[in-house]
Chain A
Amino acid sequence: MRTSMPEQKPKERIKNFNEVALGYSEEDAVKEASRCLNCKKPSCVKGCPVGIDIPGFIQLIKEKRFEDAIDKIKEKNSLPAICGRVCPQETQCEQLCILGKKGEPVAIGRLERFAADWERKKGVKPPEKVEDTNKKIAVVGSGPAGLTCAAELAKKGHSVTIFESLHKTGGVLMYGIPEFRMPKKIVESEIDYIKDLGVKIKTDMVVGKTIEVDELKKDFDAVFVATGAGLPMFMHLPGENLNGVYSANEFLTRVNLMKAYRFPEYDTPVTIGKRVAVVGAGNVAMDSARTSLRLGAEQVFIVYRRSEKEMPARKEEAEHAKQEGVKFMLLTNPIRFIGENGRVKKMEYIQMKLGEPDESGRRRPIPIKGSESVMGVDTVIMAIGQRPNPLVPKSMPGLETGRHGNIITDEHGKTSIKGVFAGGDIATGAATVISAMGMGKKSARAIDRYVKEK
């Protein structure tokens, strides 16, 4: 049995925005670490997109050498406190842990989080300075892909500047993932570490508007584009533009980035009704649903057109949402929103059944004729996915993009334009923090080679 992690009780936590999962104590961590078999050929490592020496750091925790443990992790991962919290471990490292075959896998993510939190409490030691190469690299976007790429390049002695369009650094970690799952203090301190590596960050710089990639190419030896998948999708249903119908991006940005949950102390408002329907069942949907509860909604429904098995959210997030009282309307799809005085009042929806698998391998949902019903709602949050943000690609003639507007790259992040690399959600479409980091890292290696040969 894996060591459980203490959590705030559901009844309590839906009244605050504090972190839900409280993290291991030293005893818990050592106990959990002792379960690891220290495999000679650790399969878990294959599941980690950045290839952390998992048995290595876990053994160090077991020996209570916490400082060495975090150093070991940081050899491969510059943002461990983040990954330990938000990686979908059950489909990555932990899925491949040998112990998972018979029982429960080692809680790798929790241990990673423990090591990172332990270090932060004690005071992060500044990274060692490396010799300057006099090569300059511009990174566009400060989400996990941009931050990781910047950190890797700085470690190699390059001079890196990040350009971020928002007034805050961190991408989705700052504006998307809520405080109760990813405390902003932690994101800030991970970013401080990257700054200590010598990375410069310029906020309020909308690349493609304030400054063009072409200009960056003149001032820098290479450019890495990591602008994420920030374009919210809508279903184009009647009534979707009524007041009270939000994109998850807007809703979460208001709450997380602009701190609307502390309105009127903070100036940005958000409205929440008594009955909230969240359309979609990924992490974004779970975050929106759980945020709605914390803002005071009485009933919150996840409306999802497939079944529980196909839900793309991390298992833990869906579990947490259930514990907190979010209701799941599965095999259900909205077809129309009905308003009164410009505000949404009702949602008409239809039952679905699952047909043959589609291109994503998931069974295609089909509406059941005649199964329409109407329910009262006063807020709707559309969390059906995001597309790559077209702002930068559109401003770069000659840049090859894919069907959904994603920038096309080779496996090393090289784009069709010389000296321009790309990675993270802008290249892959909406994915995960750790895959964005993995791409950031790979691209950093390719950029390093490129600027040295230049």
Chain B
Amino acid sequence: MEKANKTIAIFNISQHYFKNMFKIVKKETLAESTKMFEVEAERIAKKCMPGQFIILRIHEKGERVPLTIADFDRDKGTITIVFQEVGKTTFQLGKKNVGDEILDFIGPLGNPSEIEKFGNVVCIGGGTGIACVYPQVKMLKEKGNKVISIIGARTKNLLFWEEKMKKFSDQIIVTTDDGSYGRKGVVTLPLKEILEKEKIDRVIAIGPPIMMKFVAKTTLPYKVKTIASLNSIMVDGTGMCGACRCVVGGETKFACVDGPEFDAHLIDFDLLISRNKMYLDEEKKSLELYRGEI
């Protein structure tokens, strides 16, 4: 009871300072611990482009968390986000329901993806990366590219949006690490076969850093321009803090304003992987405490 009162008091102060509220209009569970929200955010929906992301904060003591814009509807004024429950914020977010509001929803951040008529394009989505690559697949198809999509996950229960991806792909390949669905193995296997077989003009990969690293390794000998989207740790998302710094072509860049997409052959993925581990202990502690509370 005491706790509830506290929250209310904080909420009142926050109302005073934060007028913007963003309502959840649709919620779906896409796969194991993977949820989708459609959120009212008229201004962002009006302007956003594939490749961009938003930052959200769900309560007064909350973290600012970046999520890719997985879809948007300019007429309805909504943004779709897809997230995996991995830590306190994403678990808390997953508990929200249709009609609830998100305290802060900021964007569209980052640069839009470079999308034109390239010719033959392979789009790879790993895990929640499937959702992140989807708007690009859609637009690449609209621009007249031949799109081959490869979507992969550890296991069948983590896969989603196969149908949605199919709609805009000339060909779709599904992989699971354990072979529970589609082809057994990682996404780089079919990718290599495709590169052997036909001329590919561009590869776009979004997923866990380790996946993107190996995609880059796979395409390098074929000299196919490859783009990856970096999910570094962020705070403001506007170039103010440098938390998101990464090294591309030997130069330090800020993923939030210089990216999030870069030439995958130039990215220092090991640095990204290492920097994303910066707060492992704290993240664990935070989640444990939260689990104890609920």
On A, residues with C-beta under 8 Å from B are 165-169, 188, 201-204, 206, 209-211, 230-232, 234, 236, 240-241, 243, 246-247, 249-250, 253-254, 258-259, 263-269, 271, 342, 389-391
B159 CB–A CB distance under 8 Å: no
Interface pair B285/A264, CB less than 8 Å apart = yes
Q: List 16 A-B contacts (CB under 8 A).
A: A165-B238, A204-B106, A206-B109, A210-B47, A211-B47, A236-B252, A240-B252, A243-B275, A247-B242, A250-B243, A254-B235, A258-B235, A259-B61, A264-B289, A389-B238, A391-B257
B277 CB–A CB distance under 8 Å: yes
Interface pair A203/B57, CB less than 8 Å apart = no
A210-B44, A240-B252 known; A232-B242 Cβ under 8 A: yes
In the complex, which range does the number of interface residues on chain B fall in?
Answer: 35 or more
Interface pair A267/B240, CB less than 8 Å apart = no
Shortest B112–chain A CB gap in Å is 11
B64 CB–A CB distance under 8 Å: yes
A202-B19, A210-B47, A210-B107 known; A241-B240 Cβ under 8 A: no
Residue of A nearest to B237 (CB): A206
Residue of B nearest to A195 (CB): B16
Residue of B nearest to A203 (CB): B18
Interface pair B239/A390, CB less than 8 Å apart = yes
Shortest B39–chain A CB gap in Å is 13
Bound together, the chains give a CA A201 to CA B18 distance in angstroms of: 9
Residue of A nearest to B47 (CB): A210
Chain A's interface: helix, strand, loop or mixed, by majority?
Answer: loop
Residue of A nearest to B105 (CB): A204
Shortest A185–chain B CB gap in Å is 10
B274 CB–A CB distance under 8 Å: yes
Interface pair B238/A241, CB less than 8 Å apart = no
B88 CB–A CB distance under 8 Å: yes
Interface pair B236/A253, CB less than 8 Å apart = yes
B residues less than 8 Å from A169 (CB atoms): 17
B residues less than 8 Å from A188 (CB atoms): 17
B20 CB–A CB distance under 8 Å: yes
Interface pair A250/B247, CB less than 8 Å apart = no
A241-B252, A247-B242, A391-B257 known; A253-B235 Cβ under 8 A: yes
Bound together, the chains give a CA A203 to CA B104 distance in angstroms of: 9
A residues less than 8 Å from B61 (CB atoms): 259, 265-267
A206-B109, A264-B285, A269-B279 known; A249-B241 Cβ under 8 A: yes
Interface pair B107/A211, CB less than 8 Å apart = no
B residues less than 8 Å from A206 (CB atoms): 106-107, 109, 238
Residue of B nearest to A250 (CB): B241
A residues less than 8 Å from B106 (CB atoms): 165, 167, 204, 206, 210
A residues less than 8 Å from B196 (CB atoms): none
Interface pair B235/A250, CB less than 8 Å apart = yes
A167-B57, A202-B19 known; A230-B108 Cβ under 8 A: no
List the count of A-B residue pairs having beta carbons below 8 Å apart: 120
Bound together, the chains give a CA A249 to CA B256 distance in angstroms of: 15
Shortest B79–chain A CB gap in Å is 12
Bound together, the chains give a CA A168 to CA B289 distance in angstroms of: 27
B residues less than 8 Å from A204 (CB atoms): 18, 20, 104-106
- The residue from A165, A211, A231, A269 contacting B43, defined by CB atoms under 8 A apart: A211
- The residue from B44, B103, B242 contacting A250, defined by CB atoms under 8 A apart: B242
Interface pair A203/B19, CB less than 8 Å apart = yes
Bound together, the chains give a CA A230 to CA B241 distance in angstroms of: 8
- The residue from B62, B105, B252, B279 contacting A234, defined by CB atoms under 8 A apart: B252
- The residue from A168, A211, A232, A267 contacting B88, defined by CB atoms under 8 A apart: A267
B142 CB–A CB distance under 8 Å: no
Interface pair A209/B18, CB less than 8 Å apart = no
Shortest B230–chain A CB gap in Å is 13
Bound together, the chains give a CA A59 to CA B245 distance in angstroms of: 53
A residues less than 8 Å from B277 (CB atoms): 243, 342
Which of A202, A231, A249, A268 has the largest count of B CB atoms less than 10 A from its CB? A268
Interface pair B20/A203, CB less than 8 Å apart = yes
Task: For the complex of A and B, list the 8 residue pairs with the smallest distance between their C-beta atoms, beginning with the closest.
Answer: A269-B282, A342-B274, A250-B241, A247-B242, A230-B240, A267-B63, A266-B61, A167-B104
B34 CB–A CB distance under 8 Å: no
B89 CB–A CB distance under 8 Å: yes
- The residue from B20, B239, B247 contacting A391, defined by CB atoms under 8 A apart: B239
Interface pair B241/A210, CB less than 8 Å apart = no
Shortest B16–chain A CB gap in Å is 8
B residues less than 8 Å from A266 (CB atoms): 61
B162 CB–A CB distance under 8 Å: no
Interface pair B17/A168, CB less than 8 Å apart = yes
B residues less than 8 Å from A168 (CB atoms): 17-18
Bound together, the chains give a CA A269 to CA B63 distance in angstroms of: 9
Interface pair B109/A209, CB less than 8 Å apart = yes
